[in-house]
Amino acid sequence: MVLIGPSGCGKTTTLRMINRLIEPTSGRIEIQGEDVTDLPATDLRRGIGYVIQQVGLFPHRTIEANIATVPRTLGWDRSRIRARVEELVEVVGIDREMLARYPDELSGGQQQRVGVARALAADPPVLLMDEPFGAVDPIVRGRLQDELLELQARVHKTIVLVTHDLDEAIKIADKIVLLNVGGALEQYASPDELLREPANAFVESFVGDDRSMRRLTLATVGDLPYERGPVVPIDTPPADARAVLADQRSEWLGVTDGEAFLGWIEGAEVKDGVHLDDLHRFLPAAQVEPSSTLRNAMEVIMNSRTSVAVINDHGRFCGVVTLERIRAGLDSDLSATPEPAG
């Protein structure tokens, strides 16, 4: 789940109320059915992972000791802590030899990974992340976001993440909570729903004019319904092929041999008495995979002569995708979000 909104909307405050760094004045916050104010604050916090933008690693402790902070506080024995640290090193992808180093010797991205490892150390069911990737450069940020998604696919935590970056929210959220100044809840929805059906004018302006473009990055070619397009098997009689061309109002005819796509033939050349196999074929320049995003597909189509991209899943023809098809897709519910997270 991702909390997003302009400055002063209370997204960080909301997050800090969950682990009671800020005490709620009214209302209830429950974790697994238990009110967070039922436990002593320190006990509660040991059961909740916490990652902040500035990481806040302890400069006087080695990476290993930093990761072991909560297990040590909980009184785990040495060998158990050691084993857990080894495990986490793998999970967050840091070099084992860094364990003996001090935080100042690491890059920002590495420090943030250690911060995540430290938050996961005692295997808490809930992870709170306050702009965890805000302080690293965009390239590292993108990589850390991908890693978070992979990590989440493995560890299955309830992650509450605060960000002000809409692209980040769309990329990693299962559900987005959009807050307005003063803490007003504007919309609670999946990324696709937020972009497709903004609840009100504020949400609409927040997600921006390019929300359709943003949605294109959410859905993949595989999410679209199957469309064969003006494509026929190579042994189709020319008369039937012309019928397909007329039906599809296409100037190009695609030919397949079994599962393989062979290429495009100019529609005007399809004549009676000439076998399709004898005509000149243009190899398909525009190809996408089922896992390509719609945005990616659109770019490919824009650059092709045929205005249509062939879906090629490791040599297997899976239909075609056109601009009309993408536009139609945007009108429907493409709620198939990428991997689950936040």
Partner 1 sequence: MVLATGAANPLLRWSYFVEQWDRIEEAIFQHVQLTLLAVAFGFVISAALAFLGMRYRWTITPITLFAAFLYTIPSVAFFGVLVSYLGLTLLTALIPLTAFTILILVTNILDGFSSVPASVREAADGMGLTPAQRLFTVEVPIAVPYIINGLRIATVTTVGLVTVAAIVGYGGLGRLILDGLRRTFWTPLTIGASLSILLALLFDLLFYALGAWLTPWARRRQAP
Residues at the interface with partner 1 (CB under 8 A) = 19, 21, 41-48, 50, 52-62, 69-70, 73, 101-102, 104-105, 115, 118, 128
Give the CA diameter of the chain: 86
Helices 138-155, 78-92: axis angle to 10 degrees equals 120
Closer to partner 1 by CB, 54 or 200: give it.
Answer: 54
State the minimum distance, in angstroms, from the CB of residue 104 to partner 1: 4
Helix (H) or strand (E) holding 326: helix 323-331
Structure tokens belonging to residue 68: 């072991």
Q: How far is the CB of 338 from partner 1 (least distance, A)?
A: 29
Minimum Å gap between C-beta 262 and partner 1 is 57
Concatenated DSSP letters for 67-131? HTHHHHHTT--HHHHHHHHHHHHHHHT--GGGGGS-GGGS-HHHHHHHHHHHHHTT--SEEEEES
Least CB distance to partner 1 at residue 282 (A): 56
Least CB distance to partner 1 at residue 119 (A):
8
**Is the Cβ of residue 44 or residue 330 nearer to partner 1 in the bound state?**
44
The SS3 call for residue 263 is: strand
For residues 296 and 225, the answer to whether their CB atoms sit within 8 Å is: no
Tell me whether residue 16 or residue 211 sits nearer to partner 1 (CB atom).
16
Q: How far is the CB of 141 from partner 1 (least distance, A)?
A: 18
Q: For partner 1, which is the closer residue by CB, 55 or 318? A: 55
Amino acid letter for position 90: E
Q: What is the DSSP string of 298-320?
A: HHHHHT-SSSEEEEEETTEEEEE
Q: How far apart are CA 252 and CA 231, in angstroms?
A: 9
Judged by CB, which is closer to partner 1: 57, or 297?
57
For the CB of residue 51, give the shortest distance to partner 1 in the complex, in Å.
Answer: 9
| Nearest CB to partner 1, comparing residues 131 and 193 | 131
Q: What's the per-residue H, E or C state across 143-177?
A: HHHHHHHHHHHHHCCEEEEEECCHHHHHHHCCCEE
Whichever of 161 and 321 has its CB closer to partner 1, that residue is 161
**Cα–chain center distance at 108:** 22
Whether the Cβ atoms of residue 6 and residue 180 lie closer than 8 Å to each other: yes
Q: Report the Cα–Cα distance between both ends of the chain, in Å, rounded.
A: 4
Please report where in the chains the tokens 């249509």 appear, as a residue: 308
Q: In the bound complex, what is the minimum distance in angstroms from residue 47's beta carbon to partner 1?
A: 8
Amino acid letter, 118? R
Q: Which is nearer to partner 1, 73 or 205 (CB)?
A: 73
